[in-house]
Amino acid sequence: MTGTLILVRHGQSEWNLKNLFTGWRNPDLTAQGIEEARATGKALKAKHIVPDLYYTSALRRAQHTLDLMLEEMGIENLTITRNIALNERDYGDLSGLNKDDAREKWGEEQVHVWRRSYDVPPPGGESLKDTATRTLPYYQSEILPQLTVGKTVLVAAHGNSLRALVMAIENLSPEEIIAREIATGEPIIYRIGPDGHLVERVTL
């Protein structure tokens, strides 16, 4: 018996559109983001996927994405678990800044290091490694046990918290995961075996 894990990055947010570092700030979805979330819900419904458990972060854009997906899937009266362990990476002093303005202030190379290195955090913020340090223990203690007994789990979260999960599940190196893009509103689906290891990646 294998479990099914569905990972979905939230739809486009207002700050994605404005090219701002978001992190733990709390903008909502754009009209495009709403459509992305609805399209994902429709796609899952078309494949007759009905999750047993639902997880999201403490941030509005991920919660709204999950709500819209559930609406399209026709799923009501359920328990949603929200936890800051699934929050986006905290960008610290970069939060709320336009990415181009940040490059002008600190330089293209330094901003690139903060954005694309595995273990170098921006001032006052988190690296991807730091994000993994809070996200992975939560996954291993709360979500993985459900998968190993054959449950289907839907997680609506963020680019970097999902990167941390993908890195562990697919056994990727820091270099490989940094290069991995996770698109808004596109589900990543895994089959997880009773031993907790990846059996296969599934495409819709």
Nearest to 15 by CA among 159, 166, 119: 159
H-helix segments, 47-127: 60-73, 99-106, 108-116
| Catalytic annotation present for 10 | yes
Structure tokens at 89: 């990476």
d(CA 88, CA 86): 7
Backbone angles phi, psi at 54, to 5 degrees: -135, 130
| DSSP 3-state of 4 | strand
Q: Which of 10, 36, 126, 158 is labelled catalytic?
A: 10
- Helix (H) / strand (E) element for 159: namely helix 159-170
d(CA 53, CA 157): 14
Q: Which of 36, 64, 88, 158 is labelled catalytic?
A: 88
Q: DSSP character for 154?
A: E
d(CA 89, CA 125): 8
| DSSP 3-state of 115 | helix
Catalytic positions, written as ranges: 10, 88
